[in-house]
Each structure stands twice: as structure tokens, then as C-alpha cells.
Structure 1
Amino acid sequence: MPAVVDESKCDGCGTCVDECPVGAIELNDTAHVDVDICTDCGTCVDVCPNEAITLE
């Protein structure tokens, strides 16, 4: 199950983009996960300071 970003909680800090080991996250105003690349590792969930990312 890929990571899902709650855009109402994401402030666009970019921490998840920097920490994603496979480069599956890009940042516009908020983070967006490319589900075709995401490996469900959970790194982004662990590093997000706003708890805006979950694995579903």
C-alpha cells in the first residue's frame, strides 16, 4: 500500500522528499507520492513532522 499525503496537514517542508530512498515524492505546494515508484517503506511516515503521511 503506497504512502498517502493528507494535504490539509502537509505544509510543504520537503523533509519527506529529501528522505525518500527511491525518489517517489515530489513537492509542489504539498507533497505528492508517485504510487508506481513508492515501495511502502514508511520512511516518509517516520520523518514527517506534521504526521501528514500514512501508509494505507
Structure 2
Amino acid sequence: MLQCEISIILIIFVVYFLRVHRLYANFFIHYNHVYCTNSTNIECVRLTHVF
């Protein structure tokens, strides 16, 4: 019984985390895009494509 509850909590946490992460990723890409347009930093461009 406890194992089942832990599984449900984990699934909810993962879904919630992915949703929040997507929100932060969109913000990060937008912020990085503004930053990247002013420079030709390959690291910056590579970071943007991670998400």
C-alpha cells in the first residue's frame, strides 16, 4: 500500500516538475536569445539548444 502511494506521489512530482521546467526553459531560451543576438558566443548558443 505504501509503495503504491509513493509511486503516485512520484508521478505527480515528475509531471509538476516537467511543467515548471518547461516554463523556466521557455524563459531561459527567450532571455538567452536576447543575450545571444548581441554576441557570437558558441557556448551561449549551445546552451540555448539544450532545452
TM-score bracket for this pair, using the shorter chain length: under 0.3
> TM-score with structure 2 length normalisation?
0.25
TM-score (norm 1): 0.24
The structure with more strand, counted as a fraction of residues? 1
Look at both structures and tell me which one has the larger radius of gyration over its CA atoms: 2
Which of the pair is proportionally richer in helix? 2
Q: Relative contact order, CA 8 A, sep 6+: which one is greater?
A: 1
